[in-house]
A and B are shown apart, each in its own frame.
Chain A
Amino acid sequence: MKEIPDNPWNQLARAARDAPTTTEDAPPPAPPRVAEIRGRVMAVVRAILWRRLSLIIAILALLTWALLKLTEPEPTLPPLTPMPPDLLETR
């Protein structure tokens, strides 16, 4: 087993702190078009609301279907009534 010097984590963390900044780490510029951002935020809000709304509609549809299914009359056999005598005679 190799000998490990004290705390390699501290070395990694120090190296990360000392690493030169790149364009990726630089503070991002302010958004050029705030209206676009507002529109996107509103789109996200609408998406969230729509997801909830569609869930409610789906549940209501399911409940309606279940209710109709439960209250649907059972299919029954037609009543076995005797044939009228005159009809029997014609045969």
Chain B
Amino acid sequence: MNPPGNAPGWPGSRRLLISIMKKLLWVAPFILFFAALWARTALAQAPTPSDDDVNRIARQLFCPVCENTPLDVCPTQACAQWRALIREKLAAGWTDDQIKQYFVDQYGARVLSEPPRTGLNWLVYLVPPLLFVVGVVILVRTLRPSKGSKGGQGVEEIPAPVGGTPAQPAAGMEDYVTRLEEELKKRN
């Protein structure tokens, strides 16, 4: 029985195998070097902005051409182009504020649905609530009952009528009735 490696034909094939491996050892570094040159970092693919993402921003903008039409509902071709522009900027990683600022730089502050809080624009935010408060104050002061209308000082005690009917006050009560009428007139 022949020992291993000593089988007939075995020495030839073993030498061939060793020869191939030696050649591979020489070539391997070059293969690894070129493989390293081709290697690239694998990145997760950025998701395409959805219509909701685009409309979230478009809702805060007005069509630069059509008056008072929010960009998310504007049907024109130009508005479709601007929405596509928003999608492109979102895909590039721009934030909502950056995109809005871009539109302001391109088309002016009037494209914003909410006026920027600068300069005379502050009037838009301050005047309506101020007018509301003034109106409430005027209303309260007008409707508040005057002092003393529910009794207390200044109310005269009317003595019980003596004789005579209510329609015909006694002679002695006339000046009291007159003063009572005057007082009622004042309060009305």
Q: Is A bound to B?
A: no
